[in-house]
Amino acid sequence: MPDKVVKSDTEWREALTPEQFQICRCSGTERAFTGRYWNTKTPGVYACACCGEDLFSSQTKYDSGTGWPSFWKPIDDERVVVKTDHSHGMIRSEVLCARCDAHLGHVFDDGPPPTGLRYCLNSASLELKPES
């Protein structure tokens, strides 16, 4: 993995849109069915919107019916970090970019085979790199 990316809030605010900053740096979320990738079928790689690290492949993307882009596996388990999230009166598993600590979304154990996982992510935290 490339070196860790560390920036101040000021630097992140300059590099990201207000929505991306709120979601990626403040653990926000976009409303279901509003993000640009929830229904995208374009083949390619989904990278972190903050640091550009390749995180998920369109080959593992599926329609979970939740209104957020959902994947059953990251490109490499070491590219994401999962930590316990106690916000909003729930206990969930938060997904972060391992390179820059951007909040991506959450992972749930109700996904399809072969992993049984559903990485439910925010479109604003991702940048799709279409296949050429």
- Alpha-carbon torsion (117, 38, 32, 17), positive or negative: positive
DSSP bridge partners of 68: none
What is the spatial distance between Cα 111 and Cα 93, in angstroms, rounded to a whole number?
14
Kindly report the CA angle at 72 between 66 and 73, in degrees rounded to 5? 140
DSSP tag of 123: G
Which of the residues 24, 51, 100, 120 is marked catalytic?
120
Q: How far is CA 86 from CA 4, 60, 93, 102, 116, in A?
A: 25, 27, 9, 17, 22
Annotated active-site residue 24? The verdict is no
Residue with the two structure tokens 């069915």: 33
Which of the residues are catalytic? Answer: 120
